[in-house]
Chains A and B, each alone.
Chain A
Amino acid sequence: MTNTMQSNSLAIEVTDLTVAYQEKPVLWDVDFNVPQGVLLAIVGPNGAGKSTLIKTILGLVKPVAGRILVLGAQYQARKQLIAYVPQRSSVDWDFPTNVLDVVLMGRYGHLGWIRRPSPKDKKLAIECLERVGMADFAGRQISQLSGGQQQRVFLARAFIQEASIYLMDEPFAGVDATTEKSIIELLREIKKSGKTVICVHHDLETLKEYFDWVMLLNVRRVSLGPIATALTPENLKRAYGGRALFLDQKGDTRV
């Protein structure tokens, strides 16, 4: 329904955004526009405000100043169209529930208050689990999952939201190489269908291979754009400061 309506608008539009925790600025006067249909990595050193940026877009953190538009409107009006994948470590995996139940939680936004998931929602949850190769685990207690399996469950939970924009906080943290490859395959699939994927990312080595757009962030926005133009050695130096990090012609990084 929304695709034609928003085909011209930007996925995310941020103007003069400043966020502070206890008077200490975490994000300082950040401006950027993200077009629809890109696979964007947000990179920067620890404490650069990457997670905070995602949380501010989602309305979880209140900015001191600035304006954020999602698909041309306030977040509240667009929340159905945004899927959020928090850091895997942000939840208690010993919580008494199973895989199917966690995936169904992604459906709660569509259901609204009080209404319960229907058999149709459950069917959809199984389909999403199939997409991430976890259908056999539907009834499994979540504490029995490996790190990679947990991340796949979180992805399935995001898919069931049928969103236009996917905001992910370090989806590759603590997963093995095989899972990483299959996750990036899934993200490319999402992108191919015209949707926008924004990931907080840590690994500069895989950046060029996995993403097509990048934002370098260190409290201020350093650069944003297609990898070829935004990921220059000067920009990297500006983002990571004096910390010895070199990017040679081949794109290898050493720390």
Chain B
Amino acid sequence: MIVELGHFALVLALAVALYQTVVPLYGAHKNDARLMSLAAPAAVAQFLLVAFAFAALVHAYVYSDFSVLNVWQNSHSAKPFIYKITGTWANHEGSMLLWVLILALFTLAIALFSGNLPLSLKARALGVQGSISSAFLLYIVTVSSPFVRIPPDRVPLEGQGMNPLLQDPALALHPPMLYAGYVGFSVAFAFAIAALMEGRVDSAWGRWVRPWTLAAWTFLTAGIALGSWWAYYELGWGGWWFWDPVENASFMPWLAGTALLHSAIVVEKRNALKTWTVLLALIAFSFSLIGTFLVRSGVLSSVHAFAVDPERGSFILAILAFFIGGSLFLYALRANTLKIEGRFAPLSREGALVLNNVLLSAATAAVFIGTLFPLIYEAATGGGKITVGAPYFNLTFGTLIIPLLIILPVGPLLAWKKADVKAALSRMKASMALTALAFVLSLVVLNASIRAAGGIALGVWLVAGALEEWAGRVMLFRAPFKVTWKRITSMPGSMWAMTLAHAGVGLVVLGIVISTAWKEERIVALQPGGKVQIAGFEVIYKGMRKATGPNYLAEQGLFEIYRNGKKVGEEISEKRTFLGRRSMPTTEVALMHYTLGDLYIAIGDETKMGRTVRVYFQPMIYLLWLGALFMAIGGFVGLLDGRFRVGVAERTESRLAAQPAE
């Protein structure tokens, strides 16, 4: 009964979403306050219905109701409770429902927290959100329903189990985070469309859009970081980023979103870069849609996967064409109606942010081409396979992003409108000195290559630059401590956000460069008692044993770690085979964190020579996730900035010219 009620709620949500699209947009067009005011309650109803449908599906998962096709395909009664819940969205149908749930949640947030929004802008934004909801709900209800039932006389007793790779705490959180990021950009998108309809983008608009963009960006940052952390410890290859299309799919909206985040500041502060900002808002969400599409349609593994399920593929393609094509068309029609104001010199903070936009957009395009080219090639040659590997991405993306990273610390020191670059650089003396020192020390003491030394210098430049800008802002050592302290405590959240995020970028660079340049790797076949020497550690393989988990069988390799003849740890590296699915066993690597880096042990197959063991030493790789954490925390702190809570318009001065009811 609950399943069927959930199904009904889902269908009803589609109907309400259509209502929420048509009525407010028509009302805004007619300037009819009554119709416009219908948007918010409809958004609330839509959220409640989608939430109910989602809860019904979770309920079916938790209670292993295998009369639901989706539950049978993706769950197993022996799964731990937490994975019964997360299993709900570890499959196509469920994840699309989660996508719509998060969309409904953001729509609800606009409806509830927009007392400060003009009625027409609010109605239009909610209308656009409603249209996105309608499209995806229609898709779910017609071709991707999670509520399809198995005939009563054929209901199986056990499910087929969840993809074992996904039975992992990080992956339990990864999709909701990622989707919150993707879907969060829909708000900026909706505001951009609404602004294009009204023909108005101004400082106030920038202020309304910024917090939503920042929230989406923060979620997306956290989601991507979790995903790469998971790839690092779960896939057992010792890597954390593979320029895999699925990863690129989430990276492109992040790049576009980062540009949007900065561009929106210019709109708010200077009433400039309007066309840029609107375009970036459209692009960021377009890439979110493409990301969803790429991952969900199966088109990535092969164009053929698309052909296997053309119904879904074409449906999503139609959604993409409608929203991306439609929004860009509207942009082409209406962008010229946006008044150009807020002039600035090329050398100014605005100018630096334009460069930021250009480089980030170009980098996005480079990733986009690299991701889609194999697909286009396959489609064009009728099945020809080609891979675009890391060298392409490192070259193109690297070439574009390095200049951006070099100017990054200088940007915040430039004045609006017209800047004195010399004066700005003179405030970065300490950073420059530290950077030069880092470069020389890397070359001489650490024996680094020029490239590695350059990379370390870049990372130091970013971290030091962010700190020096902060120090200058609070007048550290230049004013009495009392003044500095007062400045620190009264510094607005968005400033903290900038410092944290920019320093975070530096930490990520350092983590990448150091772990790549000094990584050590041993792949050996070991008999019990065999040893491997790596980075000053001695790893002794003690042998294998079997173990049973709640829903898997494990082969555990036992290892002892010695350093300088002293035992520093015993570790277990596992391979798990899960019930319900006869698939590749998953790896659970042994991972030890030390100040200098991570020791990483993954076991492979048993061979004649012994057990294949891969041991890596990844120096300072933790800086990478620490940096990502800094960025995410920065985003969060920025959201807490009280200044985003815009004052509510006063309601005393104008009267409504009410028409008498006919």
Partners in one complex: no
Which B residues form the contact surface with A (CB < 8 A)? none
Which A residues form the contact surface with B (CB < 8 A)? none
